Structure formats: C-alpha cells, structure tokens
Chain A
Amino acid sequence: MIRFTLRRLGIAVPTLFIIVTASFFLMHTAPGGPFDAEANLEPEIRENLIAAYDLDKPVTTQYWLYLNSIARGDFGPSLVYADFTTTELIAFGLPVSVKLGATAMLVAVLLGGFFGIVAALKKNQLLDHLIMGLAMTGIAVPGFVVAPVLSLVFGLYLNLLPIAGWNDGALANMVLPVTALALPQIAIIARLMRGGMLEVLGSPFVRTARAKGLSESQVVIRHVLKSAVIPLIGYLGPAVAGIMTGSLIIEMIFNLPGVGQYFVQGALNRDYPLVMGIVIIYASAIILLNLLADLAYGVLDPRVRKSFQ
C-alpha cells in the first residue's frame, strides 16, 4: 500500500507538470494582455509594467521563469489585483471555498447516503419512488436555478436567513449556499447508493447473514453497507470536482469571497499567474482526493488491495 501511494504520488508530479505547461501556453497564446482594461494608461507606463512582469520576453523564457518560481513555491504577483501576490489572494479565498465545499460535501454524502439506503430498503414502495423522483429533480434543476429561488424564499419572503454575504462563515450565511451546492450531489449520491445497496442486498453472503438469523438492521449495518459504499467511493473524486466547479457560480450568486470570484475575474482580465495558481491548487486537490479515494477502495475491497502489490 505504501508503495502504491508512492507510485501514485510519483505520477502526480508529471501530471501537474503537463497541466501547468498546457494551461500556461494556452493562456499565453491568447490575444490581448492583462493591462488592456486600463484604457488611459500612458504608453510608457504600460511598457514599464509589461517589462516589470517579464511579459516582453519570449513565451518560452517566461515559461522557464514561471517554472522556476513555482518550483520555489512562489506563484508570482497578481497582475490585476495590484499589490497582492497570487499566494495571498488564494490564501484569502481558499479557506472560504474549502469551508463551503467541505460542508457541502459532508452534507451531500450523509444525506445522499441516507436517502439512498432508505430508498433501497423500501424498493418499489412509495418512499422509494418519492426519493428517486426528488433525486431526478435534483439532477434536472441546476444549482444556479435553485440558488436564487432559495435566496428569494428564505431570505426575502420568509426573512429567515441572509440572502447573501459570508460574514466570516457564520452558520446562517452558510445554510443557503451549502444547500444549493449540495443538492445536485445529494441526488446523484442517493441514486448511486441505492444502486449499490440493491446489488449487495441480492448477493449470497447477505442471504447467508439472514439465514444465520441476524436481524435486518444488523444485516444492513454489518454486512451490506460496507460493500454498498464501494461505488460511492469511486464517485467521490468527480463529486469533489463537481462541488469545486459548482462553487464558482454559488459564490457568485451569494457574493461569497471565495476562490471562484478571483478565478473568473482573473480569467476575464488575463491575470496569468492568478489563474494558473488556482488551476494548480485545484488540480493538486483533485489528484490528492482521487488518490485518497483509491486508497479507501483498497481498505474496503480486498480484491483491490491485492492489486496494490
């Protein structure tokens, strides 16, 4: 298992390298530059700015300079948010996005798992149809529709929760964005969990457990769940990616100071270091979480563990 982890981490480095290279050259082949938005910039000042950020050098030189600086852990200065380094901006935004995303993820796994289990145990009964119908709705209605509706109903009409804002992550401010972010994932996880449960419930070892005279709850808790969560583990990586991207829009709608706004602003204004920094952080997170998911597979499924050797 340790060797497996090391090998995967070994692959992660070239993976990140390719991602950095691809996004770097993509951004730099784009027409336009970071200082275009400032229309009344004196030509001399613009030239000085461009020279100060090495943007006048050939792209390959810039690429080497950039690789050197990220190897030292320096993501460079932000070009649009003057006086801030990319690292500082990410340090402002990331805690917000992580807190929001991690809470949404936790809520999605717990609620989605719970609904999936209930639906599977009540297969083809009213409760099952109800849950699966709701799950279908959760998949069909995207978060950017749910979010403004939630904000209108609970914020404006019922006046129960703040309609927007972060307020240092106060619980009341978290409820609506977390709900909007978690809903589609709850729906997908509930469907996956139900599928996993049904497959396991029909397998011989469950029949054996029942034949031994275990109570139904013991059968489910001790025997079924452990195998039924396996398809769910495989989905955790994509779920995290889904929540990261969903967070972009949810942060916009609820006006939250997360990484999302920096990314969109950075992309719109060609703030190369900022966009690259965020892509690198997020790609690393996805790689790491996929690795964790694979390790969790190994813990739960002995057949997979064997392939680690």
Chain B
Amino acid sequence: MTSGDLNPMNSKVIGDAIAGSPSRSLWHQAGRRFRHNRAAMTSLWVLAVIAITSLLVPALWPHGIEDTYWDSILVPPTLENFHWFGTDANGRDLLVRVFYGGRISLTIGLLTTIVALLIGVTYGAIAGFSGGRTDSIMMRFVDIMYSLPLLFFIIILVTVFGRNIYLVFVAIGAVEWLTMSRIVRGQTLSVMEKEYVESAIAIGLPRSAILTRYIIPNVLGPVVVYVTLLVPVNIIIESYLSFLGLGVQEPLTSWGLLISQGAGQIDSAPWLLVFPATMLAITMFCFNFIGDGLRDALDPG
C-alpha cells in the first residue's frame, strides 16, 4: 500500500461519502490499491496474454495438436515451418501443444477451484452460521479429512472412477475445499457478531436471506485471495497426476503431461521440457503475485 493511504476510520468515512455504500467503497479502495501494485498488475496482464494465446493459438496456428510430421521428428526450436518450439518424438509441433496444454491446465485450475469454492463456501458458511453442535461436528469432519494424505486420496479417486478428465476436476475439487471451509467459517463467525447481522436478525429476516445478503458478501475478501492462490496449486496437482500418467490422456495434453514427456527425453531434446516448464512457472508466478497483491489490497495495514 502507498504511504499516502488514510487510516481505516477516515477512509471508511470518505469512502462512504464517495461511493454511498460502505461495502462498495471497500472494494473500490481495494481496487485502487491493487492497481498501484506493479507486480500484481503486470502479472494480471501476463496471465491475460497467456490465457488469450492459449485460447487462440491452437485455433490459428498452421499445425494441429495431432498433426504428425514424420520427416521432422525431434526438431530443435527453429523458425522454419513454424516449429518455433521444435517438435516432439512423434513429429508433432510443440508450440501448438504447449498452448493447447495451457488451455487444459488453466481450465482444470479454474474449474477445480470453482468446485472447491462451491463446496468450501457452502460448508464453511453453514458451519459458522449454525454454530453450536452442528458447527463442531462439521469442523471435526474437516479435521479428519485434513489428516488424510490428500494427494493419495486424489489418486485413489482418479483410479477408482477412471481417468476421465471431468473426474479429475471433481476429484481435485472434492479434496481441496477444506482450507476454504475453514476460512469461510472463521470469517462467518466474526461477521455474525457485527451489528448489521444483529439488526437483520432483529427485524426478522429469514436465515437464508441473512446468509446470502449479509454473510456471504462480507466473507468474500479472504475467499478471493485464497482462490487466486488455489488455482496454481490445483494446476500443479493436475500436472502431478498427469506426470504419473493418471491425469490428462493422449492425444489431449496438459503442461504436466508435456513436462513429464519432456523430462523423459531431457538429455536428447531439452526443449521438450523447457517450454512447457517455463510456461507453467510463469503462470505460477503470476497467480502468486496476484494473490499477494489482492491480500495487500483487501487487508491493508
């Protein structure tokens, strides 16, 4: 945050005056702080470029992901024939596969996070909102799940339900919601003590309305931060599964699968590892910087 920032009391008063409602001013302020964070903004742009190219390149590039060129096998990166990233052992163009892999990795990262988000927010909000015995039973269950070696559990889920890409989403998401539910529960408990919730209860709003109108909007901040940090974690988990041969299957591909194939031929064709690994690393950097930036923006001081 910049040194010229106001203290929370003043900024709230001024924010109220400008935006008319306290909740909007909070996000306004956060947005402004975020835009001043150069690392986070750069990351946002870089990530946008990666996402857009991953979407467009496979459609526009002269080579398809399954096109094989038997006369150009394991060609190092070259400007000729549009094999800018070289070709793999089957004579397939690596560039198009890297961007196509990006499409799958990013999609999996986002979708698994959405699954985790839905389960975690609902679970945590219900636990925190109900309180008492329901809360302690629900959180005890989360404690139990925590003592599972989670990746082992994902591997069991994936082998059990077949190596279907959609099940990879569900398996990862179904395991990664635990921390989310803890965060949401903690936030809910603290929001529940606020005066506006008390007044909502006093005027007789139904519980569901209190939950959707007051609790969930006010616990969003930490959730947003955690989401940006969960996406890269899930991308890594997918890569991990693909690396073990349990995730995305050929001819589809993902960064993890490409890295796994590249790692196997690292001495003869290092570019097969270098390009997907670099793309993965850049994406990890971006998400981490954005997450840190959001945390600083939403929780100044």
**Segment among A110-118, A135-143, A210-218, A220-228 that sits at the interface with chain B:** A135-143
Q: Is the interface of A mostly helix, strand, loop or mixed?
A: helix
- Check A244 for interface membership: any CB of B closer than 8 A: yes
Contact with A along B156-185 (1 / 0, CB 8 A): 110111100000000000000000000000
Nearest CB of chain B from residue A159's CB, rounded to whole Å: 13
Most chain A beta-carbon neighbours within 10 Å: one of B153, B156, B262, B280: B156
* Closest chain B CB from A244 CB (angstroms): 6
Q: Which residue of A lies closest to B265 (CB)?
A: A148
Does B144 make an interface contact (CB < 8 A)?
yes
Distance between B260 CB and nearest chain A CB, rounded to angstroms: 7
Given contacts A148-B273, A149-B273, contact A263 B281 (CB under 8 A): no
* Stretch from B26-34, B53-61, B102-110, B239-247 forming part of the interface with A: B239-247
In whole angstroms, what is the CA distance A298 to B49 when docked?
Answer: 49
A19: nearest chain-B partner, CB-CB: B148
* Distance A15 CA – B281 CA, assembled complex (angstroms): 37
Is A290's CB under 8 angstroms from B157's CB? no
Cα A142 to Cα B152 in complex, Å, equals: 18
CB-CB under 8 A from B273, the residues of chain A are 145, 148-149
Docked complex Cα distance between A176 and B229 (Å): 28
Q: When A27-B156, A148-B263, A264-B244 are in contact, do A18 and B144 touch as well, CB less than 8 Å?
A: yes
Complex formed: what's the CA distance from A245 to B277 in Å?
A: 20
Give CA–CA (A286, B153) in the complex, Å: 14
Residues of B with C-beta under 8 A to A275:
156
Contact indicator B149/A26 (Cβ below 8 Å): no
**Residues of A contacting B8 with CB < 8 Å?**
none
- Judge whether A23 and B147 touch: CB under 8 Å: no
List which B270-301 residues lie within 8 A (CB) of chain A: 270, 273, 277, 280-282, 284-285, 288
Asked if B266 CB lies within 8 Å of chain A CBs, one says yes
A252 within 8 A of B: yes
Q: Which of B182-233 contact A (CB under 8 A)?
A: 232
A19 close to B281 (CB less than 8 A): no
Q: Which of A63-71, A276-284, A300-308 contacts B (4 or more CB under 8 A)?
A: A276-284
Contact yes or no, A30 B263, CB < 8 A: no
- B147 adjacent to A145 (CB under 8 Å): no
Taken together as a complex, chains A and B put the C-alpha atoms of A73 and B98 apart, in Å, by: 48
* CB nearest to B262 among chain A residues: A148
- Rounded to whole angstroms, the CA-CA distance of A147 and B150 in the bound complex is 22
Contacting pair A27 B151 (CB below 8 A): no
Known: A140-B285, A245-B150. A253 touches B157 (CB 8 A): no
| Complex contact A286–B160 (CB within 8 A) | no
A-side contacts of B144, CB under 8 Å: 15, 18-19
Nearest CB of chain A from residue B98's CB, rounded to whole Å:
14
A 114-157 to B, binary, CB cutoff 8 A, 1 in contact else 0? 00000000000000000000001101111011011101100010
**Would A140 and B267 count as touching, CB distance under 8 A?**
no
Task: State which size class the interface on B falls in.
Answer: 35 or more
A270 interface residue (CB < 8 Å to B):
yes
Per the bound structure, the CA–CA distance linking A267 and B151 in Å amounts to 12
Whether B152 lies near A278 (C-beta < 8 A) is yes
Q: Is A241 located at the chain interface by the 8 A CB criterion?
A: yes
* CB <8 Å contact, A145 and B160: no
- Contact of A107 with B by CB under 8 A: no
Inter-subunit contact B243/A144 (CB<8 Å): yes
How far, in angstroms, from A15 to B259 measured CA to CA in the complex?
37
- In the assembled complex, how far is the CB of residue A188 from the closest CB belonging to chain B, in whole angstroms? 11
Residues of B within 8 A of A160 (CB): none
Query: Residue of B at shortest CB range from A29?
Result: B160
B155 contacts the other chain (Cβ, under 8 Å)?
A: yes
User: Which residues of chain B are within 8 angstroms of A151 by Cβ–Cβ distance?
Assistant: 266
> CA–CA, A249 to B236, complex, Å?
12
CB of A206 within 8 Å of the partner chain: no
Contact residues in A for B281 (Cβ distance below 8 Å) = 137, 140-141, 145
Instruction: Let me know if A287 is at the binding interface, CB within 8 A.
Output: yes
Q: A241-B149, A268-B246 are in contact. List 11 more A-B contacts (CB 8 A).
A: A19-B144, A23-B156, A140-B232, A144-B239, A144-B240, A152-B267, A241-B150, A249-B240, A263-B152, A270-B159, A290-B146
**Residues of chain B at the chain A interface (Cβ within 8 Å):** 143-144, 146-153, 155-157, 159-162, 232, 236, 239-240, 243-244, 246, 256, 259-260, 262-263, 266-267, 270, 273, 277, 280-282, 284-285, 288
